[in-house]
Amino acid sequence: MEAAINLIWENSYGSTSVDAICAKAKVKKGSFYYFFASKSDLAVAAMEDNWQTKQADLDRVFSPTIPPLERLTNYFNRVLECQEALQKEKGYVLGCPLFTLGCEVCTQDQAIRGKVEEILNRYLKYLETTIRDAHEQRLIVAPNAAFKAKLLFAYAQGVLTQARILNSLDGVREMSSGAMELLGVTQTAAAA
């Protein structure tokens, strides 16, 4: 599953063959099909597996004990670090694997599309809670937290996907300040 995620993320779902995945995972194809019914099946399982790995980390970053706006900047900084490490390793900016995969196959594979949607919604929840907290603490004005969260999420996803396409982290570096501007955070509120 790790091999699959990496290969698909680095290239694309369509151009990643089961043979290639098996080779990278040092597994024979027969074995592979003993555990997974299809390539699509593997992708779904790999996404869920990958999420499990990240969830613990996200829970820490988005802990309610941390001031809301700090949660966001911390998270965006972590995303940047992750993308920088990947760029160094692979030579390409890879963006968000869920978005990339979902965008590619959503009209052709409903199982994958559904799973991507499910996991994206889990991410959205973190943002929503954070923005609600920030509003509660009068750090920002966001009476409709769900709306603001979707706005922020769309922005973040746009930045990451652009980063992949342009093969540049410039936009990702500005993401934290962009998010603050988007949320209407005044400099004073940020300092406070």
Partner DNA sequence: TTTATAGTTGACTATTTGGTAAAGATAGGG
Partner DNA sequence: CCCTATCTTTACCAAATAGTCAACTATAAA
Query: Footprint of its own copies on this chain (CB under 8 A)?
Result: 10-15, 92, 94-95, 99-100, 102-108, 113, 116-117, 120, 147, 150-151, 153-159, 161-162, 164-167, 171, 174, 178, 181-182, 184
Q: Are 177 and 169 in contact (CB under 8 A)?
A: no
Q: Count interface residues toward DNA (CB under 7 A).
A: 18
What is each CA distance from 186 to 67, 69, 71, 133, in whole angstroms?
Answer: 16, 12, 17, 17
How far is residue 46 CA from its own chain's centroid? Answer: 14
Cβ proximity to DNA, 20 vs 120, nearer residue: 20
What residue 104 binds from DNA, its own copies, none (CB within 5 to 8 A, per partner kind)? its own copies
Output the smallest distance, CB 32 to DNA, in A. Answer: 7
In degrees, to the nearest 5, what angle opens at C-alpha 97 toward C-alphas 95 and 103?
Answer: 95
20 binds DNA (CB under 7 A): yes
Considering the rule CB under 7 A, would residue 125 count as an interface residue with DNA?
no
Footprint on residues 25-64 left by DNA (CB under 7 A)? 27-31, 33-35, 37-40
Q: Are 52 and 120 in contact (CB under 8 A)?
A: no
What is the Cα–Cα distance from 77 to 32, expressed in whole angstroms? 37
